[in-house]
Amino acid sequence: MFCLVDCNNFYVSCERVFNPKLEKKPVVVLSNNDGCVISRSNQAKALNIKMGALYFKNKDFFKERGVCVYSSNYPLYADMSNRVMSVLKRFCPDIEIYSIDEAFLDFKTIYHKDLLLYAKEIKETVKQWTGIPVSVGLASTKTLAKAANLYAKKNFECQGAFEINDSTDIEALLSEISPEDIWGIGKQYLSILKANNINTALDLRNASDVWIKKNLTISGLRTVWELRGRSCIAFEMVSSPKKQIGCSRSFPSAVTKLSELEEAVSAYVSAAAKKLRRQNSLTSYVGVFLLTNCFNDRPQYSNRAGLCLVEPSSYTPELVGAAIKVLKVIFREGYRYKKLGVFFKDISSLENFQYTFSKSQNNRNRQNSLMNTVDKLNSSLGTDALKVASQGISQSWRMRQNKLSFRFTTRWSELPVVK
């Protein structure tokens, strides 16, 4: 039996934990650069504020209706996520952390006469210990557990918990669900399904294997099998190391100068290299991409390129150097750039590292211990306490976050104050 625990309106809920005045009010959290809405309280949903709604277009409406608006505060959300996950681990050792706000639990080792009751206990404990409201769904496959979770969220009488088991009228349940609400069915698949008169999750479950495989690939077929109760999406307790690591940001306003793009590239490579080292990996490929703003009528340009390294590395200065080289290749004078990103691929493990003749082992060891020290200092003194000089000082390209709440749980200087 799988149990999916999903935090309700997660980012909004995090803001509410430290600001109880937001309870019962319409609240939204915005994307980077305060661009669009990415999390909404139920009251905000009731005002018909859509996911992805543009802030600058809705500013007046928000003001009029008393909508509380926040920039996304990722250090806070990441820390709250860790708290929720650590509570879940106490209830079930077999846990797959699927995203910042949800986790699958495999109840195979849980001996409890009523698993739904146990799930409710989890839900209440998470709320009491962290302040975050969650919903839980139980079923024999991950896809069905997702559906059960959605059902629990949408039906008030479930009180946030629902189980699909042998006594459930599964056909009735699935006939009420639209295919797009099934995990694994997105926009494109939905339009293919609709065009073929598959209008409910039940129709999807009953579709022919051959047709599904042909039109929705093997991934779609797995989804269908899971709907039939045949578990075929693996439960992954240990997260495997990332195969691709990147960092990209939109600029709050257009950037035209190469010197500013070089600063941004340096900052993004530093951030990505830190992630690389955290999973004890090295990269052999440094890629950079660059885009103008496709939402306006000015001349457009976008490009990407990369560089294969002679020897895999996680040494920030070396990676920054490579990225700046690539940036110079794709940069064209005269365009107004909106977004820049860097990415590493061909990622390998530090343990499997094979030395070549290009660098002495001694040199390599010095670089590793330097990066170690930098990472340690930055984690205790704050991100970018120590950084490469090419990141620049003023950083006018940095994103806009005008509505940021405090990092209540990760900065001594921003602790909540009790009066």
Partner DNA sequence: TCTGGGGTCCTAGGACCC
Binding residues for DNA, rule: CB under 7 A, are 31-33, 35-36, 38, 52, 54, 56, 98-102, 146, 182-190, 213, 217-219, 242-250, 252-254, 271, 275, 293, 295-296, 338-339, 341, 343, 399
CB of 270 to DNA, least distance (A): 12
CB of 98 to DNA, least distance (A): 7
CB of 196 to DNA, least distance (A): 14
Give the residue with the Cβ less far from DNA, 184 or 312. Answer: 184
CB of 319 to DNA, least distance (A): 14
State the CB neighbour count (10 A cutoff) for residue 110: 16
Give the residue with the Cβ less far from DNA, 36 or 202. Answer: 36
Give the residue with the Cβ less far from DNA, 230 or 243. Answer: 243
Cα–Cα nearest to 97, from 283, 240, 281: 240
Which CA distances in Å does 117 have to 112, 141, 152? 9, 19, 14
- Give 256's contacts (C-beta < 8 A, 6+ positions apart): 334, 335, 336, 337
CB of 103 to DNA, least distance (A): 10
CB of 24 to DNA, least distance (A): 24
CB of 184 to DNA, least distance (A): 5
Q: Which amino acid is present at 376?
A: K
CB of 337 to DNA, least distance (A): 10
Give the residue with the Cβ less far from DNA, 26 or 341. Answer: 341
CB of 59 to DNA, least distance (A): 8
Give the residue with the Cβ less far from DNA, 118 or 388. Answer: 388
3-state secondary structure the chain: CEEEEEECCHHHHHHHHCCHHHCCCCEEEECHHHCEEEEECHHHHHCCCCCCCEHHHHHHHHHHCCCEEEECCHHHHHHHHHHHHHHHHHHCCCEEEEECCEEEEEHHHCCCCCHHHHHHHHHHHHHHHHCCCEEEEEECCHHHHHHHHHHHHHCHHHCCEEECCCCCCHHHHHHCCCHHHCCCCCHHHHHHHHHCCCCCHHHHHHCCHHHHHHHHHHHHHHHHHHHCCCCCCCCCCCCCCCCCEEEEEEEEEEECCHHHHHHHHHHHHHHHHHHHHHCCEEEEEEEEEEEECCCCCCCCCEEEEEEEEEEEECCHHHHHHHHHHHHHHHCCCCCCEEEEEEEEEEEEEHHHCCCCCCCCHHHHHHHHHHHHHHHHHHHHHCCCCCCCHHHCCCCCCCCCCCCCCCCCCCCHHHCCCCC
Written as six digits, the tokens of 191 are: 């339009």
Give the residue with the Cβ less far from DNA, 118 or 320. Answer: 320
Give the residue with the Cβ less far from DNA, 14 or 36. Answer: 36
Give the residue with the Cβ less far from DNA, 118 or 289. Answer: 289
CA distance 307 to 265: 14
Give the residue with the Cβ less far from DNA, 25 or 241. Answer: 241
CB of 361 to DNA, least distance (A): 27
Give the residue with the Cβ less far from DNA, 77 or 408. Answer: 77
